[in-house]
């Protein structure tokens, strides 16, 4: 079908170019700060960490007692956006948090990335829902696989990352530039962590990002008077990019939001 980027990045990139030369259709969509016009051939949809460890029963978040209901609510609208984006000829890229089996890319002892992830038992052996042996946040296991409801399709790309930002230590930037992509439609979890980190890095590299608010979620701080999800929407629309939702992009692409 297709191979995850990470270890075989260059070969996968060379093979997976069905969107190259796709017709460029200018679509206008409303955002919380006004309309923007996006060229479909110059846009990609990023799906950030919509994987079993963060979004599925039996995954890392669920095992840690974290409420994943908001994450689950984001799945259905995201699936509709991905279907419409593929029909429009837009590239779909899945970013997945996943570490090597020996945790050599987790960070040195005492580093925040290593310590925070060890608090969530990264690398520990667990049983997948079907009984197979798996490991928390380890590449090529059930835990780091994309949710079945959002399963990648032929022509989509998967890219492993080892930090919150999808740009850190990956080929995401060179992949996008080689395809002339400058607009990113962003979905995924968690809004204030991996999603916002990726959007910040994208903005620093002069990409234009539109976050779809109902296709993203943030369990952290969900019980606060103003949630971290809402705080991230504010800073993104004010400083880092634009905020819209699935209904608006489906309308712009001529797809049904029903």
The catalytic site residues sit at: 49, 161, 194
User: Which residues, at least 6 apart from 180, have a Cβ–Cβ distance to it below 8 Å?
Assistant: 41, 42
């Amino acid at each position: 079908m297709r191979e995850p980027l990470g270890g075989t990045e260059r070969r996968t990139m060379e093979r997976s170019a069905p969107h190259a030369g796709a017709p460029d259709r200018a679509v206008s969509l409303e955002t919380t700060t006004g309309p923007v016009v996006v060229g479909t051939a110059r846009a990609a949809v990023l799906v950030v960490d919509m994987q079993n460890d963060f979004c599925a029963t039996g995954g890392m978040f669920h095992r840690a007692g974290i409420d994943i209901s908001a994450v689950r609510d984001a799945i259905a609208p995201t699936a509709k956006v991905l279907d419409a984006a593929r029909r429009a000829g837009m590239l779909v890229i899945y970013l997945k948090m996943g570490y090597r089996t020996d945790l050599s890319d987790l960070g040195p002892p005492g580093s925040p990335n290593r310590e925070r992830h060890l608090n969530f038992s990264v690398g520990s052996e667990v049983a997948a829902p079907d009984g197979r042996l798996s490991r928390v946040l380890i590449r090529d296991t059930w835990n780091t696989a994309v949710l079945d409801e959002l399963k990648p399709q032929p022509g989509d790309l998967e890219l492993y990352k080892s930090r919150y930002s999808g740009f850190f230590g990956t080929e995401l930037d060179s992949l996008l530039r080689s395809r002339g992509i400058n607009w990113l439609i962003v979905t995924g979890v968690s809004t204030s962590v991996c999603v916002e980190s990726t959007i910040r890095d994208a903005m620093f590299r002069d990409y234009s990002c539109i976050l779809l608010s109902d296709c993203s979620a943030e369990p952290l701080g969900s019980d606060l008077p103003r949630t971290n999800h809402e705080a991230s929407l504010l800073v993104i629309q004010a400083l880092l990019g634009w905020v819209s939702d699935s209904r608006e992009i489906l309308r712009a692409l001529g797809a049904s939001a029903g």
